[in-house]
Structure 1
Amino acid sequence: MAGKRRPYGRIRKLPSGRYQARYVTPDGQLRPAPHTFRTKRDADDWLADLQTQLRRGDWHDPDAGRVTLGEYAGTWIAERGLTTRTAELYRSLLRLHLVPTFGAVAVSDISPAAVRSWRAARLAAGVGPSTVAKAYALLRAVLATAVEDQLIRRNPCQIKGASNPPTPERPTATVPEVFAIADAIQPRYRALVLMAGFLGLRWGELIGLHRRDVDLDRGAVRVRQAVAELTNGQREIKAPKSEAGKRTVAIPAAIVPDLRRHLDLFAGPGSAGRVFLGAKGAIPRRNHFNRLWHKACAEAGITGLRFHDLRHTGNTLAASTGASTRELMSRMGHSTARAALIYQHASAERDRLIADSVSGLVDQARKLATGAHKADEELEGHAGGTTG
């Protein structure tokens, strides 16, 4: 009588006395198990588990993840269809922060412990938390694609919140401070400061404006493109960061006269003329403008304020009007509610402080009124006693 045929796989005893299990992969290849087994029963159990994985479609080619992180991440960046500036940032993060540790490591060999150790070492080396968070987010995104490509079973980037470290709250300029800086800066950049402070537009969005984008009769600005500055000094004209970034933003009437004066004196000619130009007729560069910005802030007696902080001013003012989350998202150019909710929360806290202050004034007025009423009663009592 023939022996019972094994339902799946093959097992053989090695000269060492241990057992080797072999199995047929979905592509028809005969592969050995990654390790040998002490007993035949252990090998049988391993093959049974593997067969279950194959039936469920959970099997992963153990050799697929042998590609190095440096090679895989480089291809990942090239294939994502990223903007030039974003691709430049990712390549920099890969080169400076990921390749030194993981560049030659197989994707399948990167463990959660290795990721934790790498992150701790980067922070201990004095790398800024924001930079480490960006590098971690890139590593997590690359390895998430590796999971989708079935190179690995699970993403080893498991550190909760590591992509979004707590950041110090940036200062928000007051309305008088915005005007003080606008008064102190070169006249050709006055409107730039006012639009950043009261419309909440980004630097790249402002620099990307043409005359046809500004309708002062309707009091609106159309944001359709932005200018990005690359590290090599080149500039890239691109669409806003997301579809939500393409938007029309209403202009506060209070600054329309300033914008009209700016268009008359400093903007390029024709509907395609740039709204903001440098003294030599070229698109302003951020590093040159920053020197003028710091000088104007110093003259206005304001410290620690970046140009981008004016966007916070505009968004905070918009939130303080009681605008809805959807309205704030539209004005700010965000596709998610996260940022709008942050500004609404800040506005609500400020409103609470205002309400508490009003309550204090009410209590004070009531105490004064009560004191005056008691004084009147005492006077009336004295007057009544005298008459009696």
Structure 2
Amino acid sequence: MPWPEKRGNKWRVRWDTGRVHPETGKKIYDSKSGFDDENTAYEYGLDRESDVRNDRYIARRDGAVLMKEYVADWLDGIDVGHLRERSCRSMARLYIVPRWGETAVGDIKPSSYRAWKKELLARPNVGADYGREILGLFAMMMDDAVEDELRKASPVSHKRRRGKYTKKVKEKKRHMDIADVHELACNALIYWGFAGYVFVLTMACTGMRPAELYALRREYSPPRWPAADPDEEQREESLERYGGDEPMSAIRVQYQHQWKDSVLSLLPPKYDSHRTLVVPRFLAELLEMLLDSHDSEWVFPSINNGPLAKANFTYKYWRPIADGRPASEEFERVRLGQKQLVVSRRPLPAWEGVKAYAGKRLYLLRHGHKEWLDEDGHSRVAVETRMGHELPGVEGTYSNVTPAMERAIMESLQSRWEGFVPSLGDDWEPRSPKALPVDLGGWMKAQVTALRNAD
């Protein structure tokens, strides 16, 4: 039975927690002070002993663990991929610990959580999707705190939606037109060079993630792959599938480039989505021309011939390509005490942005690739596998991508290109501030001529 004790003008109650000290063997008691009268203190103690009997009791000393300590232990115990762990640690450091770090795990109330949720989602630097990700991480921590017997229940309600309904705002996207894609490629040709021209067309025609394109090595690109694949078993299987009398050119997605522990590293693709992507004939020819034009280990070297992942690609490459850029101008500098008027080391002409992509994300090229595949009526399993996704349930278990499905994708992409090329006309010439390492204009004229002769 609990027993109340008079302490000054207030009452304290003590109760048996049902636990025994592992070293001394003595019973462990818990207590709470601050009651105005003996009866209230006694009833509080009875409630706690009821919790002990029904296995609901959380000792005050257990729930007193600070969130900053619990978060650190929780993050050390998660078993996720490198990028996900980095993201979790970032969200905890920037948003969870600053708000809850000095609060005991057992003292976080549902009302306090709801107030924080409202404030977090209202921040201008936290988008709706990112905000939900932060809240989801916090919810997992609270669920685990319950299992660790630091709380009776999570302050995050999983039962029903609270508050007013807010419709999810979807990103505004336009249908991906191959003419717009080619205009982006032409802008990349001016700014970056032939590698940029092929990069844009490759992303639109394969749906590869940017980090996968950064890490694409020579041995995994046509015409070298699959013969150059260092994995003997994979090489033999791929030669059998993609070689033969009617070969199909393909890219092997083997790696992505990411920073790990401040070192640029080759890591498995997101979700371990290693896959083979057949490419249309025109793109296979461009990739072969590109590889013959340089000796870099990367299919798409940067402007300085290094790995693209070392550049801030979005701002240094994609934004000028999509948004346009004014011509390089002379600027004044002081050298050895003398004023000089100089021009950029890479003087560039002006070019217009592409309206459909001005201010938009590079990832929309990946989204647009799926639109093309869906529009052409390809099977769901072939489309999702090509995008690096897994189909859930029975459909994913029993479905399989066949060579016929891959050939259909290859042909539909080629047909889309052939439907566009004649619109360029016989007089199309690539625009570039410096001489190209390949005869892109001659290659394009050959494409147009071949299509006209076929008609």
TM-score between the two structures when normalised by the length of structure 1:
0.71
Task: For 1:214 and 1:170, locate their aligned partners in 2 and report how far apart those are by CA, in whole Å.
Answer: 33
**Matching residue of 2:171:** 169
**Matching residue of 1:112:** 110
**Matching residue of 2:407:** none
**Matching residue of 1:3:** none
Task: For 1:93 and 1:195, locate their aligned partners in 2 and report how far apart those are by CA, in whole Å.
Answer: 33
Helix, strand or coil for the counterpart of 2:2?
strand
**Matching residue of 2:5:** 14
**Matching residue of 1:371:** none
Task: For 1:25 and 1:114, locate their aligned partners in 2 and report how far apart those are by CA, in whole Å.
Answer: 31
Q: 250, 259, 263: which is aligned to 2:291?
A: 263
Task: For 2:170 and 2:265, locate their aligned partners in 1 and report how far apart those are by CA, in whole Å.
Answer: 30
Task: For 2:167 and 2:80, locate their aligned partners in 1 and report how far apart those are by CA, in whole Å.
Answer: 24
**Matching residue of 2:354:** 301
1:209–1:274 contact (8 Å) kept in structure 2: yes
Note closer, same or farther for the CA distance 1:13–1:110 as it changes in structure 2 (3 Å cut): closer
2:215–2:257 contact (8 Å) kept in structure 1: yes
Q: CA RMSD in A?
A: 3.4
1:207–1:283 contact (8 Å) kept in structure 2: yes
Task: For 1:68 and 1:51, locate their aligned partners in 2 and report how far apart those are by CA, in whole Å.
Answer: 23
**Matching residue of 1:195:** 202
Residue 205 of structure 1 and its aligned partner are, at CA, apart by: 0.8
Note closer, same or farther for the CA distance 1:107–1:180 as it changes in structure 2 (3 Å cut): same
Note closer, same or farther for the CA distance 1:170–1:283 as it changes in structure 2 (3 Å cut): farther
Residue 90 of structure 1 and its aligned partner are, at CA, apart by: 2.9
1:219–1:252 contact (8 Å) kept in structure 2: yes
Does residue 237 of the first structure (1) align with residue 237 of the second (2)? Answer: no
Residue 120 of structure 1 and its aligned partner are, at CA, apart by: 1.8
Helix, strand or coil for the counterpart of 2:120?
helix
**Matching residue of 1:184:** 187
- Identify which range, 152-161 or 247-256, moves more after superposition: 152-161
**Matching residue of 2:139:** 140
Residue 25 of structure 1 and its aligned partner are, at CA, apart by: 2.6
1:18–1:38 contact (8 Å) kept in structure 2: no
**Matching residue of 2:248:** 218
1:19–1:38 contact (8 Å) kept in structure 2: no
- 1:12 is matched by which residue type in structure 2? W
Q: 316, 319, 332: which is aligned to 1:291?
A: 316
Task: For 1:39 and 1:280, locate their aligned partners in 2 and report how far apart those are by CA, in whole Å.
Answer: 76
1:211–1:267 contact (8 Å) kept in structure 2: no
Note closer, same or farther for the CA distance 1:289–1:33 as it changes in structure 2 (3 Å cut): closer
Write out per-residue CA displacement over residues 274-314 of structure 1, whole angstroms, 9 at most, x where no aligned residue.
22212333101342564333333223533233211111011
Please identify the structure whose Cα radius of gyration is greater. Answer: 1
Aligned residues with identical type, % of pairs: 21
**Matching residue of 1:149:** 148
Query: After superposition, where does 1:339-358 map in structure 2 within 5 Å?
Result: none
1:267–1:275 contact (8 Å) kept in structure 2: no
**Matching residue of 1:321:** 376
Task: For 2:41 and 2:319, locate their aligned partners in 1 and report how far apart those are by CA, in whole Å.
Answer: 76
Residue 147 of structure 1 and its aligned partner are, at CA, apart by: 2.3
- Identify which range, 254-263 or 21-30, moves more after superposition: 21-30
Residue 246 of structure 1 and its aligned partner are, at CA, apart by: 1.6
Task: For 1:38 and 1:94, locate their aligned partners in 2 and report how far apart those are by CA, in whole Å.
Answer: 43
- Identify which range, 177-186 or 79-88, moves more after superposition: 79-88
Higher strand share: 2
Task: For 1:288 and 1:15, locate their aligned partners in 2 and report how far apart those are by CA, in whole Å.
Answer: 69
Note closer, same or farther for the CA distance 1:144–1:51 as it changes in structure 2 (3 Å cut): closer
**Matching residue of 2:301:** 277
Write out per-residue CA displacement over residues 9-32 of structure 1, whole angstroms, 9 at most, x where no aligned residue.
x33353489784522434454223
Higher helix share: 1
Task: For 2:361 and 2:200, locate their aligned partners in 1 and report how far apart those are by CA, in whole Å.
Answer: 11
Residue 197 of structure 1 and its aligned partner are, at CA, apart by: 0.9
Note closer, same or farther for the CA distance 1:79–1:140 as it changes in structure 2 (3 Å cut): same
Note closer, same or farther for the CA distance 1:208–1:165 as it changes in structure 2 (3 Å cut): farther
Does residue 208 of the first structure (1) align with residue 263 of the second (2)? Answer: no
**Matching residue of 1:250:** 278
Residue 156 of structure 1 and its aligned partner are, at CA, apart by: 1.6
1:198–1:313 contact (8 Å) kept in structure 2: no
**Matching residue of 2:76:** 78
Structure 1: runs of 5+ lacking an equivalent: 1-9, 341-388
* Count of aligned positions: 320
Write out per-residue CA displacement over residues 123-172 of structure 1, whole angstroms, 9 at most, x where no aligned residue.
4443322443332222122222222322223222237599x993432525
1:199–1:314 contact (8 Å) kept in structure 2: yes
**Matching residue of 1:227:** 257
Structure 2: runs of 5+ lacking an equivalent: 22-26, 224-246, 325-351, 396-455
Note closer, same or farther for the CA distance 1:19–1:169 as it changes in structure 2 (3 Å cut): closer
Helix, strand or coil for the counterpart of 2:270?
coil
Task: For 1:96 and 1:141, locate their aligned partners in 2 and report how far apart those are by CA, in whole Å.
Answer: 17
**Matching residue of 1:347:** none
1:219–1:250 contact (8 Å) kept in structure 2: yes
Note closer, same or farther for the CA distance 1:182–1:337 as it changes in structure 2 (3 Å cut): farther
Note closer, same or farther for the CA distance 1:106–1:324 as it changes in structure 2 (3 Å cut): farther
Note closer, same or farther for the CA distance 1:26–1:221 as it changes in structure 2 (3 Å cut): farther
